[in-house]
Protein backbone atom coordinates (compact mmCIF):
# COMPACT_ATOMS: atom_id res chain seq x y z
CA UNK A 1 0.00 0.00 0.00
CA UNK A 2 2.81 2.37 0.86
CA UNK A 3 4.49 1.61 -2.46
CA UNK A 4 1.33 2.52 -4.36
CA UNK A 5 1.07 5.80 -2.45
CA UNK A 6 4.69 6.64 -3.20
CA UNK A 7 4.19 6.00 -6.93
CA UNK A 8 1.05 8.14 -6.98
CA UNK A 9 2.82 10.94 -5.13
CA UNK A 10 5.75 10.71 -7.54
CA UNK A 11 3.44 10.90 -10.57
CA UNK A 12 1.63 13.89 -9.10
CA UNK A 13 4.67 15.92 -8.07
CA UNK A 14 6.87 15.27 -11.11
CA UNK A 15 4.82 17.52 -13.45
CA UNK A 16 4.66 20.17 -10.72
CA UNK A 17 8.43 20.06 -10.32
CA UNK A 18 8.89 20.37 -14.09
CA UNK A 19 6.57 23.40 -14.25
CA UNK A 20 8.38 25.09 -11.36
CA UNK A 21 11.76 24.42 -12.99
CA UNK A 22 10.57 25.89 -16.31
CA UNK A 23 9.13 29.00 -14.66
CA UNK A 24 12.27 29.44 -12.58
CA UNK A 25 14.67 29.22 -15.53
CA UNK A 26 12.62 31.19 -18.08
CA UNK A 27 13.92 34.65 -16.97
CA UNK A 28 17.50 33.36 -17.06
CA UNK A 29 16.96 31.96 -20.54
CA UNK A 30 15.53 35.29 -21.67
CA UNK A 31 18.54 37.12 -20.23
CA UNK A 32 20.94 34.73 -21.97
CA UNK A 33 19.26 35.14 -25.35
CA UNK A 34 19.12 38.92 -24.92
CA UNK A 35 22.86 39.03 -24.32
CA UNK A 36 23.39 37.81 -27.90
CA UNK A 37 20.85 40.13 -29.54
CA UNK A 38 21.73 43.45 -31.22
CA UNK A 39 21.20 46.61 -29.19
CA UNK A 40 18.40 47.89 -31.42
CA UNK A 41 16.35 44.71 -31.04
CA UNK A 42 16.86 44.51 -27.29
CA UNK A 43 15.42 48.01 -26.87
CA UNK A 44 12.49 47.55 -29.23
CA UNK A 45 11.31 43.91 -29.05
CA UNK A 46 10.99 41.13 -26.48
CA UNK A 47 13.56 38.39 -26.12
CA UNK A 48 11.11 35.72 -27.33
CA UNK A 49 11.18 37.21 -30.84
CA UNK A 50 14.62 35.66 -31.30
CA UNK A 51 12.91 32.37 -32.16
CA UNK A 52 11.21 34.01 -35.16
CA UNK A 53 14.02 36.30 -36.29
CA UNK A 54 17.29 34.94 -34.85
CA UNK A 55 19.69 37.87 -35.25
CA UNK A 56 22.59 37.04 -32.94
CA UNK A 57 25.84 38.89 -32.30
CA UNK A 58 28.84 38.91 -29.94
CA UNK A 59 29.14 42.71 -29.96
CA UNK A 60 27.61 43.01 -26.48
CA UNK A 61 30.28 40.75 -24.98
CA UNK A 62 33.04 42.54 -26.88
CA UNK A 63 31.82 45.89 -25.59
CA UNK A 64 31.60 44.65 -22.01
CA UNK A 65 34.96 42.85 -21.92
CA UNK A 66 37.17 45.21 -23.89
CA UNK A 67 35.17 48.43 -23.98
CA UNK A 68 34.37 48.18 -27.69
CA UNK A 69 36.52 51.24 -28.43
CA UNK A 70 34.55 53.61 -26.21
CA UNK A 71 35.71 52.47 -22.76
CA UNK A 72 32.20 51.63 -21.61
CA UNK A 73 32.92 48.13 -20.41
CA UNK A 74 36.39 46.70 -19.76
CA UNK A 75 35.17 44.17 -17.22
CA UNK A 76 38.36 42.23 -17.86
CA UNK A 77 40.26 44.90 -15.92
CA UNK A 78 38.12 44.26 -12.86
CA UNK A 79 38.17 40.47 -13.12
CA UNK A 80 41.58 40.19 -11.42
CA UNK A 81 40.36 42.39 -8.58
CA UNK A 82 37.41 40.08 -8.03
CA UNK A 83 39.71 37.05 -7.88
CA UNK A 84 42.14 38.77 -5.50
CA UNK A 85 39.28 39.82 -3.22
CA UNK A 86 37.35 36.56 -3.30
CA UNK A 87 40.01 33.90 -2.72
CA UNK A 88 41.46 35.32 0.54
CA UNK A 89 37.95 36.22 1.70
CA UNK A 90 37.10 32.51 1.42
CA UNK A 91 40.32 31.05 2.83
CA UNK A 92 40.67 33.33 5.87
CA UNK A 93 37.26 32.59 7.47
CA UNK A 94 37.48 28.95 6.40
CA UNK A 95 40.74 28.35 8.27
CA UNK A 96 39.83 30.41 11.32
CA UNK A 97 36.37 28.88 11.61
CA UNK A 98 37.77 25.35 11.27
CA UNK A 99 40.10 25.83 14.24
CA UNK A 100 37.38 27.54 16.27
CA UNK A 101 34.79 24.88 15.46
CA UNK A 102 37.14 22.10 16.52
CA UNK A 103 37.88 23.84 19.81
CA UNK A 104 34.20 24.41 20.53
CA UNK A 105 33.29 20.83 19.63
CA UNK A 106 36.08 18.77 21.22
CA UNK A 107 37.90 20.87 23.81
CA UNK A 108 36.21 21.30 27.19
CA UNK A 109 36.58 24.73 28.77
CA UNK A 110 34.48 26.99 30.92
CA UNK A 111 31.88 29.04 29.04
CA UNK A 112 32.01 26.95 25.88
CA UNK A 113 28.24 26.59 25.52
CA UNK A 114 27.67 30.29 26.12
CA UNK A 115 30.28 31.10 23.50
CA UNK A 116 28.52 28.87 20.96
CA UNK A 117 25.22 30.64 21.65
CA UNK A 118 26.92 34.02 21.32
CA UNK A 119 28.46 33.10 17.97
CA UNK A 120 25.07 31.92 16.74
CA UNK A 121 23.48 35.20 17.89
CA UNK A 122 26.02 37.20 15.85
CA UNK A 123 24.38 35.90 12.66
CA UNK A 124 21.34 38.12 13.23
CA UNK A 125 23.40 41.34 13.23
CA UNK A 126 22.73 43.17 9.93
CA UNK A 127 25.82 43.65 7.82
CA UNK A 128 24.87 47.26 7.14
CA UNK A 129 25.09 48.13 10.85
CA UNK A 130 28.81 47.30 10.92
CA UNK A 131 29.89 49.35 7.92
CA UNK A 132 30.10 52.70 9.72
CA UNK A 133 32.25 51.34 12.62
CA UNK A 134 34.49 49.58 10.09
CA UNK A 135 34.97 52.75 8.08
CA UNK A 136 35.92 54.58 11.27
CA UNK A 137 38.38 51.82 12.13
CA UNK A 138 40.05 51.93 8.72
CA UNK A 139 40.15 55.70 8.27
CA UNK A 140 40.69 57.19 11.74
CA UNK A 141 41.94 54.27 13.79
CA UNK A 142 40.75 53.15 17.21
CA UNK A 143 42.67 53.06 20.44
CA UNK A 144 43.93 49.53 19.86
CA UNK A 145 44.60 49.79 16.11
CA UNK A 146 46.15 52.50 13.94
CA UNK A 147 44.46 53.76 10.80
CA UNK A 148 44.75 51.25 7.95
CA UNK A 149 46.54 53.25 5.27
CA UNK A 150 47.42 50.24 3.12
CA UNK A 151 49.24 50.24 -0.20
CA UNK A 152 50.25 47.63 -2.75
CA UNK A 153 48.49 44.26 -2.63
CA UNK A 154 47.55 45.00 0.98
CA UNK A 155 45.14 47.68 -0.27
CA UNK A 156 42.56 44.88 -0.44
CA UNK A 157 42.98 44.28 3.29
CA UNK A 158 39.90 46.33 4.16
CA UNK A 159 37.64 44.14 2.07
CA UNK A 160 39.34 40.91 3.23
CA UNK A 161 38.91 41.90 6.85
CA UNK A 162 35.26 42.86 6.41
CA UNK A 163 34.27 39.68 4.56
CA UNK A 164 36.17 37.52 7.06
CA UNK A 165 34.46 39.11 10.04
CA UNK A 166 31.01 38.92 8.48
CA UNK A 167 31.47 35.25 7.48
CA UNK A 168 32.95 33.88 10.72
CA UNK A 169 29.71 33.46 12.75
CA UNK A 170 28.01 31.38 10.06
CA UNK A 171 31.20 29.44 9.28
CA UNK A 172 31.81 28.55 12.94
CA UNK A 173 28.17 27.60 13.42
CA UNK A 174 28.12 25.38 10.31
CA UNK A 175 31.43 23.63 10.99
CA UNK A 176 30.75 23.25 14.72
CA UNK A 177 27.50 21.40 14.05
CA UNK A 178 29.31 19.06 11.68
CA UNK A 179 32.37 18.42 13.85
CA UNK A 180 30.26 17.86 16.96
CA UNK A 181 28.48 15.06 15.12
CA UNK A 182 31.65 13.09 14.39
CA UNK A 183 31.86 9.67 16.11
CA UNK A 184 33.15 10.16 19.64
CA UNK A 185 34.66 6.68 19.64
CA UNK A 186 36.91 7.67 16.75
CA UNK A 187 38.18 10.78 18.53
CA UNK A 188 38.69 8.95 21.82
CA UNK A 189 40.55 6.11 20.10
CA UNK A 190 42.94 8.59 18.52
CA UNK A 191 43.51 10.26 21.88
CA UNK A 192 44.24 6.90 23.52
CA UNK A 193 46.85 6.27 20.83
CA UNK A 194 48.55 9.49 21.88
CA UNK A 195 47.34 11.84 19.17
CA UNK A 196 47.60 15.51 20.04
CA UNK A 197 45.02 18.10 19.09
CA UNK A 198 47.14 19.06 16.09
CA UNK A 199 47.30 15.47 14.87
CA UNK A 200 43.59 14.99 15.45
CA UNK A 201 42.79 18.18 13.60
CA UNK A 202 44.90 17.52 10.51
CA UNK A 203 44.86 13.74 10.14
CA UNK A 204 41.46 12.71 11.52
CA UNK A 205 39.04 15.62 11.53
CA UNK A 206 40.14 17.45 8.37
CA UNK A 207 39.52 14.53 5.95
CA UNK A 208 36.13 13.85 7.52
CA UNK A 209 35.13 17.53 7.45
CA UNK A 210 35.83 18.01 3.74
CA UNK A 211 32.12 18.12 2.70
CA UNK A 212 31.32 20.79 5.29
CA UNK A 213 34.41 22.82 4.36
CA UNK A 214 33.57 22.67 0.65
CA UNK A 215 29.96 23.65 1.37
CA UNK A 216 30.98 26.77 3.23
CA UNK A 217 33.64 27.58 0.64
CA UNK A 218 31.07 27.51 -2.18
CA UNK A 219 28.56 29.63 -0.25
CA UNK A 220 31.21 32.17 0.74
CA UNK A 221 32.72 32.26 -2.75
CA UNK A 222 29.39 33.04 -4.39
CA UNK A 223 28.52 35.59 -1.71
CA UNK A 224 31.81 37.51 -1.98
CA UNK A 225 31.98 37.29 -5.77
CA UNK A 226 28.48 38.78 -6.10
CA UNK A 227 28.89 41.30 -3.28
CA UNK A 228 28.39 44.96 -4.13
CA UNK A 229 27.76 46.72 -0.81
CA UNK A 230 31.01 45.84 0.98
CA UNK A 231 33.10 46.22 -2.17
CA UNK A 232 31.59 49.58 -3.05
CA UNK A 233 31.97 50.88 0.51
CA UNK A 234 35.45 49.63 1.38
CA UNK A 235 37.33 49.16 -1.89
CA UNK A 236 37.19 52.79 -2.95
CA UNK A 237 35.46 52.09 -6.27
CA UNK A 238 38.59 52.67 -8.39
CA UNK A 239 39.85 50.41 -11.16
CA UNK A 240 42.82 49.39 -8.96
CA UNK A 241 40.67 47.85 -6.21
CA UNK A 242 37.02 47.58 -7.30
CA UNK A 243 35.64 44.14 -8.27
CA UNK A 244 33.41 43.36 -11.25
CA UNK A 245 30.17 44.03 -9.36
CA UNK A 246 31.10 47.68 -8.91
CA UNK A 247 31.71 48.01 -12.63
CA UNK A 248 28.51 46.15 -13.46
CA UNK A 249 26.52 48.69 -11.46
CA UNK A 250 27.67 51.42 -13.85
CA UNK A 251 27.24 49.52 -17.12
CA UNK A 252 23.66 50.72 -17.56
CA UNK A 253 24.92 54.16 -18.50
CA UNK A 254 24.04 57.60 -17.21
CA UNK A 255 20.36 57.30 -18.13
CA UNK A 256 20.03 53.57 -17.43
CA UNK A 257 19.24 52.66 -21.03
CA UNK A 258 22.27 50.53 -21.95
CA UNK A 259 20.49 47.22 -21.34
CA UNK A 260 22.63 45.27 -23.77
CA UNK A 261 25.65 45.80 -21.52
CA UNK A 262 23.86 44.48 -18.45
CA UNK A 263 22.69 41.30 -20.17
CA UNK A 264 26.20 40.40 -21.32
CA UNK A 265 27.86 41.60 -18.12
CA UNK A 266 25.57 39.47 -15.98
CA UNK A 267 26.71 36.27 -17.66
CA UNK A 268 30.36 37.30 -17.66
CA UNK A 269 30.16 37.81 -13.90
CA UNK A 270 28.25 34.56 -13.34
CA UNK A 271 30.66 32.39 -15.32
CA UNK A 272 33.24 31.78 -12.56
CA UNK A 273 30.78 31.01 -9.71
CA UNK A 274 28.97 28.63 -12.05
CA UNK A 275 32.20 26.76 -12.79
CA UNK A 276 33.03 26.54 -9.08
CA UNK A 277 29.61 25.15 -8.24
CA UNK A 278 29.65 22.60 -11.07
CA UNK A 279 33.12 21.40 -10.09
CA UNK A 280 32.25 20.99 -6.40
CA UNK A 281 28.53 20.22 -6.51
CA UNK A 282 29.01 16.63 -5.31
CA UNK A 283 30.73 17.77 -2.13
CA UNK A 284 28.21 20.58 -1.74
CA UNK A 285 25.26 18.17 -1.64
CA UNK A 286 27.05 15.94 0.87
CA UNK A 287 27.90 18.93 3.04
CA UNK A 288 24.30 20.11 3.17
CA UNK A 289 23.14 16.69 4.36
CA UNK A 290 26.08 16.06 6.68
CA UNK A 291 25.02 15.67 10.28
CA UNK A 292 21.31 15.51 9.45
CA UNK A 293 21.15 11.77 10.18
CA UNK A 294 23.05 10.11 12.98
CA UNK A 295 23.37 6.41 13.41
Please provide the DSSP assignment of 173-206 as one string: HHHHHHHHTS-HHHHHHHHHTT--HHHIIIIIIH
The alpha helices in the chain, defined as continuous H runs, are 2-35, 39-44, 59-66, 76-106, 112-121, 127-139, 157-180, 184-192, 197-199, 206-208, 210-225, 229-234, 244-248, 259-289
What per-residue string of b and e applies to 57-77 under the rule 16 or more CB within 10 Å gives b?
eeebbebbbeebeeeebbbeb
In the chain, how many domains are there?
A: 2
Q: 114 and 25 share a domain?
A: no
Question: Taking 60 as the threshold, does the pLDDT of residue 152 lie above it?
Answer: no
Same domain membership, residue 132 and residue 13: no
Does 182 lie in the same domain as 101? yes
Q: What is the pTM of this model?
A: 0.78
Exposed/middle/buried for residue 245 (C-beta within 10 Å: 0-12, 13-18, 19+): buried
Q: If we measure between CA atoms, which residue out of 268, 233, 227 comes closest to residue 245?
A: 227
Q: Is residue 33 assigned to a domain?
A: yes
| Partners of residue 191 on adjacent β-strands | none
Burial class (CB in 10 A: 0-12, 13-18, 19+), 166: buried
Report if residue 207 sits inside a domain: yes
- Has residue 9 got a pLDDT over 60? no
Give the per-residue pLDDT at 225.
Answer: 92
The residue-averaged pLDDT of 84-104 equals 92
Does 69 fall in a domain? no
List the domain range (segments joined by +) for residue 48: 1-56
What confidence score (pLDDT) does residue 53 get? 80
Q: What is the mean pLDDT of residues 198-208?
A: 84
Average pLDDT over all residues of the chain: 79
162 part of a folded domain: yes
Per-residue pLDDT tens digits for 142-151: 544 454 555 5
Question: What per-residue confidence (pLDDT) applies to 118?
Answer: 87
Same domain, 22 and 124: no
How many whole angstroms from its chain centre is CA 77?
Answer: 21
- Report the length, in residues, of the chain: 295
Q: Is the pLDDT of residue 167 over 80?
A: yes
Q: Are residues 225 and 161 in the same domain?
A: yes
pLDDT at 267 over 50: yes
User: Is the pLDDT reported for residue 273 higher than 70?
Assistant: yes
Q: Please indicate, yes or no, whether residues 187 and 142 belong to a single structural domain of this protein.
A: yes
Amino acid sequence: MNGVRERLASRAFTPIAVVIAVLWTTPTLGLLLSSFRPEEEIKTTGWWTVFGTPHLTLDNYGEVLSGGGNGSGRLSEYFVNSVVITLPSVLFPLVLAFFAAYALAWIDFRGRDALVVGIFALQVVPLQMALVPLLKLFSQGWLFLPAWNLTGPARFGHVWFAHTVFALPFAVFLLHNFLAGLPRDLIEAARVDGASHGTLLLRVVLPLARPALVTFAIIQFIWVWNDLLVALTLSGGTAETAPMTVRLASLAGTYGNEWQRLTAGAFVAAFVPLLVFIALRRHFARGLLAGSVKG
